[in-house]
Structure 1
Amino acid sequence: MNPQEIYLLGYVVAGLQLCGLVAAVHAVFTVRTSQGAIAWAMSLVFMPVLTLLPYLVFGRSSFDAYIRARRQANVEMHAAVAQLDWRPWVDEALAVSDSPTRPNPLQPFARLAQMPSLASNQARLLIDGQATFDAILAAIASAEKVVLVQFFIIRDDAIGRRLQQVLIERARAGVQVYLLYDSIGSHALPRRYTRSLRQAGVQVHAFATRGFISRFQWNFRNHRKIVVVDGRIGFVGGLNVGDDYLDQKPRLSPWRDTHLELSGPVLACLQDSFAEDWYWASHELPPLLLPEGYGEADMVCQVVCSGPADKDETASLFFVQAINMAKRRIWLTSPYFVPDEAVYAALRLAVLRGVEVRLLLPSRPDHRVVYAASTLYARSIMRAGVRVFRYQPGFMHQKVLLIDEDTAAVGSANLDNRSFRLNFEVMVLVANREFADGVARMLEADFELSQELTPENEPKPHRLQHLGMRVARLVAPVL
């Protein structure tokens, strides 16, 4: 290398270092959490060659502008809804009040989500992919008026094409069909898939950020999975549309997941969530139907939608409140355990006040860096008294929590920073002893197939592995 090339290389390195310093200062002032700011700033200062481009892609450079645009779209959407003969919160008589004579234990979640707790619902657990897709496809096939479908991932494989065909058949039969998918999660979905749907009359949109700069922002993902058919039956949970969710991915099979089937007034809240996302993607409102036929349903349900445009950190506060309200037990399941300080502290405090805290995690990684960080957090929380279990048969992807004997939740949110502050998520709480008993039996069966993490049986990593886990933990807030 001649002197001129050496000088040129030096200028490039110096330029990258300067850009890294500028980006580090920007991160300190703009990243939402202190641990996230520290993670980005240290990486940008000491490793600008490796982290500058990821910061431009995953960082917060357009976050504030995105939040303002999303909030404005939500205001416009609700203004448009107000002009319709449709009340998104249905009959006030169904809203569960909070009073000394009739306390509502879900009231903090209602205030957090700005959605009411609603009575007269029915909820049914759908365990694993076969039961979930059988129920969803059967419900769509019976649709007479409107089908709303939203998934983070849709694949062009066997189950994806089954969904495609039933949507096409219903659209050709005169049903109004709306499909929303995330542009990042479904990046591999070919155009021919959506083109066939549109040609049949299905309204299709991708959820994405906007503008030229936003195209380089990968942090804004809609992780929700919502299906509502005719305003009479709905679905929410952890499953996406792909054969791997039906045990067709040998490395991770069998896939363990949970979905929820709902009917009753709570479907108005799910439709409202879908309408916000659809309006963002299309500037149009989907048709909204009042739920009908409550029958003998008696479950109180609370929908908690969360996203980066929220005034508060809704998803993180959701888990903190759920943990804090537990008096006897709280069981949580998540494929990714990379908690923030508030959730980590809430778990430790629950142990200190005598609550039985169990955490169910996968034993196989699907994302190795996240798994490494999760392992370090799991070992640490185990030493604090939380009982940690690793699911053995296959990959555990469900997002479920059980509070005491009478409340449980199913949805899309993971116990990590991405779900807490970056993704759009949805969780549904059900306050009903019979339903909670069913969730308890389901989780007890999962624990039977799991190995409890103890100081004796957890393999001690060698120094290089331990260093890798520490590095993964350092960058955990930006994973």
Structure 2
Amino acid sequence: MPTDLLTTDARDLLRSVRRVTLRTAGWAVLGQLSLAAGVVAADAIRKRRDEGDDPSAPADPPLHVDVEDDRITTYTYGRALYDDMIAAIDAAQDYVYLASYIWKGDSVGQEFKDAVIRAAERGVTVCVVFDGFANLVVPRSFIRFPGSVHVMQFPVLRPGLPLLDLRRTGRDHRKILVVDGLVGFVGGYNIGELYATKWRDTHVRVEGPGVWELQNAFVDFWNRHRRPAQPELVDSGTERWGSPLHAARNEPSRLVYPVRALYLEAIDRAMHRIWITQGYFIPDPEVLEGLLRAAKRGVDVRVIMPEHSNHVLADIVARYYWSELLEGGVHLHLYKDVMVHAKTATVDGRWATVGTANIDRLSLRGNYEINLEIISRDQAERMETVFRRDLERCEEMTLDRWRGRPWYYRVLERSLRPLEAML
């Protein structure tokens, strides 16, 4: 048989295989998307059915502690946090830097909008940042501010193809407020009525030299992404080294993701207990391995997460890992009735972190995030108090109970696991 005929046959076979492969992959993706859409629709029906049952988050008081030269206040109730944030803005004399991933156009959102406008009108430099994608449903009229307020809407789409330029990926998922370099806030709370009383989240206020950690994060982000007409903020260094407070900042534009390393190192050091609270807990292989190794060496590893989060697909994907975690000795606690959205952890009563990053791919390897690391027995003790308080509102998932789940749970977990790359 002629060589050129063999070549033609081989090419035809290759084309045929390629067509079949692409068609099969296309149907698989379509099937996953259809299944995901069905799950989301079913969850929406469940939420509408449960609308009459609208419990509130526990109105626990803030906890205070001194960490060397800094005063740290830990908030677990949104309304208390918002009151103190607005009071800080109203007391501003020099500048207000505010970043929020979500800024709802409701009554709470209006309170914050009015506060920053009041500050700007009395001559305070006000710079605010919010994520364009996260606020697509917010009325355009609400996100219009007077010219005295410098506004950066982090764009939904940026120039350049994200697949070719990793520096242009990621959403701005941070929640930061800094006032006059004297007080700073950071944590999981977005701005909105729902979060004020209906969600369980965690934020901290810092008063003292540690505020620089948060201010520096805001200034660096602003100066890197500002438009030419927007002011360049003063970029100051700090004389303070070896602080017990350190801000780990994930920054796609610089291809650095230290929050993940922060968690991995703390897990690796643990000897007694690792207590984690997460709204969305989808550990990557290294985090999963670290937790299992810690449990194997006798560390008390516990994770609090919502029984039902506001993202049902994230819940299902997360549950793919429950069998391995439970079999490995990790305790899983499901927070009842309200959404827990906190991003916190404490290790051995010595180390704690509070911030904006979830333990999932988007937060640890994708978005702009900031977590405050605090090495302090006193602050760790406060975080353990919060954790124990939360445990009272949780139900533990046991291995026997999980093994007895309906067969269709297993189908959903395996079928939707590939969506992990987008969560």
Q: TM-score, normalised by structure 2?
A: 0.79
2:188 is the alignment partner of 1:241: no
Match of 1:424 in 2: 368
Task: Report the CA distance shift for 1:190/1:329 in structure 2 as closer, same or farther (over 3 A).
Answer: same
In structure 2, how many angstroms separate the alpha carbons of the residues matched to 1:19 and 1:156? Answer: 49
Q: Which of these residues, 290, 298, 301, is aligned with residue 346 of structure 1?
A: 290
In structure 1, how many angstroms separate the alpha carbons of the residues matched to 2:370 and 2:301? Answer: 23
2:48 is the alignment partner of 1:47: no
Task: Report the CA distance shift for 1:122/1:330 in structure 2 as closer, same or farther (over 3 A).
Answer: same
Give the C-alpha shift of residue 263 in structure 1.
1.8
Aligned residues of 2:250 and 2:256 also touching (Cα < 8 A): no
Match of 1:374 in 2: 318
Aligned length, in residue pairs: 367
Deviations 1:320-364 (A, max 9, x none): 112112121110010111111000000001111211111001011
Match of 2:117 in 1: 168
In structure 2, how many angstroms separate the alpha carbons of the residues matched to 1:365 and 1:124? Answer: 26
In structure 2, how many angstroms separate the alpha carbons of the residues matched to 1:121 and 1:43? Answer: 59
1:42-191 matches, cutoff 5 A = 44=25, 47=28, 120-191=69-140
Match of 2:215 in 1: 271
Unaligned runs of 5+ in 2: 1-14, 34-66
2:275 is the alignment partner of 1:325: no
Match of 1:66 in 2: none
Q: Which of these residues, 275, 282, 287, is aligned with residue 233 of structure 2?
A: 287
Amino acid at match of 2:150: Q
Give the C-alpha shift of residue 459 in structure 1.
7.5
Task: Report the CA distance shift for 1:430/1:202 in structure 2 as closer, same or farther (over 3 A).
Answer: same
Match of 1:211 in 2: 159
In structure 2, how many angstroms separate the alpha carbons of the residues matched to 1:259 and 1:20? Answer: 48
Unaligned runs of 5+ in 1: 1-13, 22-41, 53-117, 248-253
Moved more, 417-426 or 186-195: 186-195
Aligned residues of 1:119 and 1:265 also touching (Cα < 8 A): no
In structure 2, how many angstroms separate the alpha carbons of the residues matched to 1:145 and 1:376? Answer: 50
Give the C-alpha shift of residue 468 in structure 1.
0.8
Q: TM-score, normalised by structure 1?
A: 0.70
Match of 1:74 in 2: none
In structure 2, how many angstroms separate the alpha carbons of the residues matched to 1:256 and 1:235? Answer: 17
In structure 2, how many angstroms separate the alpha carbons of the residues matched to 1:44 and 1:355? Answer: 43
Amino acid at match of 2:159: G
Aligned residues of 2:223 and 2:233 also touching (Cα < 8 A): no
Deviations 1:291-316 (A, max 9, x none): 99x9xxx9720110013344454232
Task: Report the CA distance shift for 1:19/1:305 in structure 2 as closer, same or farther (over 3 A).
Answer: farther
Task: Report the CA distance shift for 1:185/1:324 in structure 2 as closer, same or farther (over 3 A).
Answer: same
In structure 1, how many angstroms separate the alpha carbons of the residues matched to 2:182 and 2:19? Answer: 58
In structure 2, how many angstroms separate the alpha carbons of the residues matched to 1:235 and 1:422? Answer: 23
Aligned residues of 2:174 and 2:368 also touching (Cα < 8 A): yes
Percent identity over the alignment is 28
In structure 2, how many angstroms separate the alpha carbons of the residues matched to 1:280 and 1:451? Answer: 45
**Secondary structure of the residue that 2:244 maps to in structure 1?**
strand
Moved more, 374-383 or 324-333: 374-383
1:21-36 matches, cutoff 5 A = 21=22
Match of 1:114 in 2: none
Give the C-alpha shift of residue 423 in structure 1.
0.8
In structure 2, how many angstroms separate the alpha carbons of the residues matched to 1:460 and 1:219? Answer: 40
Match of 2:339 in 1: 395
**Secondary structure of the residue that 1:194 maps to in structure 2?**
coil
In structure 1, how many angstroms separate the alpha carbons of the residues matched to 2:82 and 2:121? Answer: 21
Amino acid at match of 2:284: D
In structure 2, how many angstroms separate the alpha carbons of the residues matched to 1:388 and 1:212? Answer: 41
Match of 2:10 in 1: none
Moved more, 167-176 or 275-284: 275-284
In structure 1, how many angstroms separate the alpha carbons of the residues matched to 2:232 and 2:303? Answer: 39
In structure 2, how many angstroms separate the alpha carbons of the residues matched to 1:137 and 1:305? Answer: 25
Amino acid at match of 1:133: Y
In structure 1, how many angstroms separate the alpha carbons of the residues matched to 2:362 and 2:82? Answer: 26
